[in-house]
Amino acid sequence: MKIKVGVIFGGETVEHEVSIISAIQAMNKMDEEKYEIVPIYITKDREWYTGDMLKDIDSYQDLNLIKKYSDNVVLYYKNGSYVLQKKTGLMKRIVKEIDIAFPIVHGTNVEDGGLQGYLQSIGIPFVGPDVYAAVAGQDKTIMKDIWNSIGLPMTKYVWFYDVDYRKDTDEVMKKVKKLKFPVIIKPATTGSSVGISICDDEEGLKEGIDTAVQYDSKILVEEVVANLKEVNIAVLGNHEHQKVSEIEEVLSTNKFLTYADKYIGDGKGGKLKGFKKPVKSATSKGMASANRKLPADLDKGLREEIEDIAVKAFKALGTSGNSRIDFLIDEKAKKVYINEINSIPGSLAYYLWDAKGINFSSVLDDMINIGIKDYKKRISKVHSFETNILQGFAARGGVKGMKGTKGKLR
Ligand SMILES: Nc1ncnc2c1ncn2[C@@H]1O[C@H](COP(=O)(O)OP(=O)(O)O)[C@@H](O)[C@H]1O
Ligand SMILES: [Mg+2]
């Protein structure tokens, strides 16, 4: 019997459109002999839809057609299975059952642990990072603090909350000015270069911070790496086993890699009805269309250093699935800095595996198998006790102030 895989994508995130592309690329490559693919699309207004039309990029030309011709559903646990049930209609029909969820989502509210939290709380097996790893993989301050604690090489950084910046600007500025200029200012949890700016001197700090606070209440400021060469590597596995991909060098004509560098590359984007950002035509390649050198030009020493740091970084966050880990290299100094992890990278970084002779279908197979193993391990741990302390508690008189009860919580 085929494994029913619910591929979940979209969501309320600035990377919504990129996620549609990544998910469609993956659905096209999943082995249909082994898997029944069930697309589950989350709109920007957080409605969940399923239906075969969602496997086709052209369907996203008009959101109204999706709303009309696919099923608006909820995913939950019912009578021993995970079901997609219609939200509307007299019968509230069960449209599909799924065995395992496969989130292919990018950015806030979904990749950041939002979606994983839901999946973990209803108990369904799922592919990719669990809730803890997903949170750490999205919040740059958390990932950096964890990596710092195990001594991975990173640029010097500080972070602060917007409220503290507003309340005590001088104090925060004092902290920031200890860094060497130029610095780069980033909202802690956005992706795709959104809200990021580079400041050459103290004058520009205010403007950069004001931009970043529009996106996040946690702001990260870090030293800029000179003579920059950016390289990325993917790591596949979980905390038990890891495998590394080929390394790419990403190329930008701008001061830093922009949204356009990452997703538009040489391809043409066009704005489509119902979507704020370009969802490209059926030829779209998403992250796979960035300008790159693959494999990157690196000597053996640097290559091995990057592979080694990537595996340590992956394990330290306790992540799972197929992540892309990004590095900044000062080419003159030959110094490597780890920059960030993308727990669920654009295009699932298939091109990095391809370059190593590992095809996308087998990466997807591995990811699903790892997801099943993670699930088995998760359920093998003790998560609850049979005893109900509230029963004994009620017998002793309950909580003061609660209707119909007496006594106190200790
Ligand atoms: N410390 C740095 N020094 C130089 N360039 C940087 C630094 N940090 C980020 N960048 C540039 O900014 C881009 C976006 O930053 P990144 O931290 O990767 O955020 P995002 O999650 O938005 O991709 C990077 O791809 C790189 O081009
Ligand atoms: Mg990045």
Count of Cβ atoms closer than 10 Å to residue 255 Cβ: 13
Number of domains present in the structure of the chain: 3
Domain end among 88, 107, 127 = 127
Share of residues in the chain with pLDDT > 70 (%): 86
Is the shortest distance between the CB of 290 and ligand 1 below 6 Å?
no
Mean pLDDT, the chain, whole residue set? 90
Greatest alpha-carbon span in the chain: 73
Count of Cβ atoms closer than 10 Å to residue 184 Cβ: 21
Q: Are strands 228-237 and 242-250 parallel, antiparallel or unpaired?
A: antiparallel
Mean pLDDT score, 150-174 = 96
Task: Supply the pLDDT for residue 275.
Answer: 45
Closest-approaching ligand to the CA atom of 111: 1
* DSSP label of 268: P
- Does pLDDT of 192 surpass 60? yes
- In terms of domains, do 203 and 301 share one? no
Q: What are phi and psi of 335, to 5 degrees?
A: -110, 135
Tally: H helices and E strands in the chain: 13, 16
* DSSP label of 126: B
- In terms of domains, do 236 and 214 share one? no
Is the shortest distance between the CB of 257 and ligand 1 below 6 Å?
yes
- In terms of domains, do 34 and 90 share one? yes
Is the shortest distance between the CB of 262 and ligand 1 below 6 Å?
no
Mean pLDDT score, 366-379 = 97
Q: What are phi and psi of 127, to 5 degrees?
A: -90, 145
* Protein residue whose Cα sits closest to atom 21 of ligand 1: 191
pLDDT confidence tier of residue 260, bands split at 50, 70 and 90: low
- In terms of domains, do 295 and 353 share one? yes
The CATH number assigned to the domain holding 59 equals 3.40.50.20
Transcribe 324-378 into DSSP letters. Answer: EEEEEEETTTTEEEEEEEESS-GGGGHHHHHTTT--HHHHHHHHHHHHHHHHHHH
- In terms of domains, do 296 and 316 share one? yes
- Does pLDDT of 407 surpass 50? no
Q: What is the pLDDT of residues 59-107, one digit of tens each?
A: 999 999 999 999 999 999 999 999 999 998 888 899 999 999 999 999 9
Q: Which are the contacts of 35, defined by CB distance < 8 A and separation ≥ 6? A: 2, 3, 4, 5, 368
Q: What is the pLDDT of residues 108-135, one digit of tens each?
A: 999 999 999 999 999 999 999 999 999 9
- In terms of domains, do 19 and 82 share one? yes
Is the shortest distance between the CB of 191 and ligand 1 below 6 Å?
yes
Find residue 84's DSSP bridge partners. Answer: 75, 96
Structural domain including 193 reads 156-223
Is the shortest distance between the CB of 220 and ligand 1 below 6 Å?
no
* DSSP label of 43: P
Is the shortest distance between the CB of 199 and ligand 1 below 6 Å?
no
Report CA(339)–ligand 2 centroid distance (Å). 7
Out of 225, 230, 339, mutate this one to test ligand 1's pocket (max ligand atoms within 8 Å of CB): namely 339
Q: What is the pLDDT of residues 206-238, one digit of tens each?
A: 999 999 999 999 999 999 999 999 999 999 999
408 within a domain of the structure (yes/no) = no
pTM for the full model? 0.89
Mean pLDDT score, 174-186 = 96
- Does pLDDT of 252 surpass 80? no
* Protein residue whose Cα sits closest to atom 7 of ligand 1: 224
Q: What is the pLDDT of residues 281-325, one digit of tens each?
A: 333 566 676 789 999 999 999 999 999 999 999 999 999 999 999
